[in-house]
Amino acid sequence: MSGAAELGMRPLRPRTPTFVDGRSWVFWTMVMLTLAAFTQVAPLVLESLLANPASGVYAAAVWAVYGIAFASAVYLFELFERRRILNVAGSLLWGAIVAVGVSHVAGPAMHSIVATRLGEDSLWLSAVAAPLVEEPLKALGVVALALIPGARIRTVADGAFYGGMIGLGFQVVEGFLYTARTAALAGDAMDTVTQMFVLRGIVAGLWSHAAFSAVAGAGIAFFFVSVAPAVQRWAVTLGSLGAAMALHAFLNSPVIHGTQVSSALIKGVPIVAVLLTTLHVSHSRERAIFARTARVTVPDHLVSPADFEGLATRNRRRHARAEMRERHGRMAARDLHKLQRAQLALLVAAHSDGMVSSRAAEAAGRVTSARSALAWSIVGR
């Protein structure tokens, strides 16, 4: 009889590779919410397409390309880890379907509540009502992922990443619906689509829903991964959600007068400042975590503290490859790139699952193989 059985304890449930975990009530709640919200979103999308099929298809195409390009850029330029594609897709779907669908129901109710205080003609109505509904709904997606071990939210940077993806999903669908409906009522529908896309996607979109949700997601991740006192964790979490709501309200507010373009650009300055500060703090914490993992957990022959110094930033990794290419040729630089990727994967696996996990063992094997290939490229030719 095992020690766990003797003590009447259940063995630990193995962690799933992604957030798809059939044994988790959180996962099935996400599924049910997605299906329910889809019944709200699908008719909205269909109506927007049929109102003017030509401009509707055009709007759908430009917003889809925008979403794919935006998500790909964020995904490919992550500092240490490329998250599982299925987790990224789940985040996008939460924003695109759950947050949009529930907002379609809750938004008008909140609008009515706020209107009783501010008046139906208040210019601040949208600035107050929309953030109160949309930001908590998007933030709940990060909470759900944090409650499923397979999503592997283990740093503040993970929360910022998934929050940004949830916000992007919301932004793309909301942008399409608004663009297609506005164009259907305009005299020149195709030009209206272009103008609306530039304004909502390019001018204001770079510091819109993805930015708000990244800020909130970082705070939520802090709550789940930090060992700080509960009061501090709650303060950071609620403060980050409040900051996301305040930034959203500021972007919607009438405080800056001028054209739509100039107003959006001016409002973007403090929003980008808050976002960059959030990302700097989250990446600094992530870097410190992996530095400690390299120092304490991973054997030096796989990733030493000196190795991590060269892995700590993209610039250092890029500089090391350029130097290797200059000294030993393209193949050696390519093999160094493979070694860097393998070492980063090992650090992530060791931090998430421990060095004795199968994931870490597999990553360690790739490090050993990549190091041998690099040695052969340098001295064996």
Rounded distance between C-alpha atoms, residue 302 and residue 187, angstroms: 64
Encoding tokens for residue 208? 């819109």
Confidence at residue 352, expressed as pLDDT on a 0 to 100 scale: 83
At 52, the amino acid letter reads N
- Specify burial of residue 141 (Cβ count, 10 A radius: 0-12, 13-18, 19+): buried
Can you spell out the DSSP letters for 21-55?
-TT-HHHHHHHHHHHHHHHHHHHHHHHHHHHSHHH
pLDDT confidence band for 7 (50 / 70 / 90):
very low
Rounded distance between C-alpha atoms, residue 225 and residue 230, angstroms: 12
Confidence at residue 282, expressed as pLDDT on a 0 to 100 scale: 93
Would you kindly state where each structural domain of the chain is located, as residue ranges? 25-292, 299-379
Encoding tokens for residue 352? 């998430």
Across the range 33-42, mean pLDDT stands at: 96
Q: Do 138 and 99 contact (CB within 8 A), yes or no? A: yes
Confidence at residue 6, expressed as pLDDT on a 0 to 100 scale: 41
pLDDT at residue 67 greater than cutoff 80: yes
Confidence at residue 299, expressed as pLDDT on a 0 to 100 scale: 93
Across the range 59-71, mean pLDDT stands at: 95
Q: Which residues contact 93 (CB under 8 A, 6 or more apart)?
A: 34, 169
What is the Cα 215 distance to its own chain's centre? 10
Rounded distance between C-alpha atoms, residue 180 and residue 197, angstroms: 10
Confidence at residue 150, expressed as pLDDT on a 0 to 100 scale: 80
Rounded distance between C-alpha atoms, residue 88 and residue 313, angstroms: 23
Confidence at residue 366, expressed as pLDDT on a 0 to 100 scale: 94
Q: Which one, of 134, 168, 150, lies nearest residue 18 by Cα?
A: 150
Rounded distance between C-alpha atoms, residue 52 and residue 73, angstroms: 31
Rounded distance between C-alpha atoms, residue 210 and residue 278, angstroms: 13
Tens-digit pLDDT profile for residues 144-156: 999 998 877 889 9
Q: Do 144 and 26 contact (CB within 8 A), yes or no? A: yes
Across the range 288-300, mean pLDDT stands at: 93
Per cent of the chain over pLDDT 90 is: 72
Tens-digit pLDDT profile for residues 161-211: 999 999 999 999 999 999 999 998 887 889 999 999 998 898 888 889 999
Quickly tell me which residue has 């329910």 as its tokens.
36
Tens-digit pLDDT profile for residues 305-341: 999 999 999 999 999 999 999 998 899 999 999 999 9
Confidence at residue 26, expressed as pLDDT on a 0 to 100 scale: 94
Rounded distance between C-alpha atoms, residue 172 and residue 164, angstroms: 12
**DSSP 8-state assignment for residue 11:** P
Looking at mean pLDDT, say which of 16-20, 70-74, 215-219, 326-330 comes out highest.
215-219
Phi-psi region of 265 (alpha: psi -120 to 50; beta: other; left: phi over 0): alpha
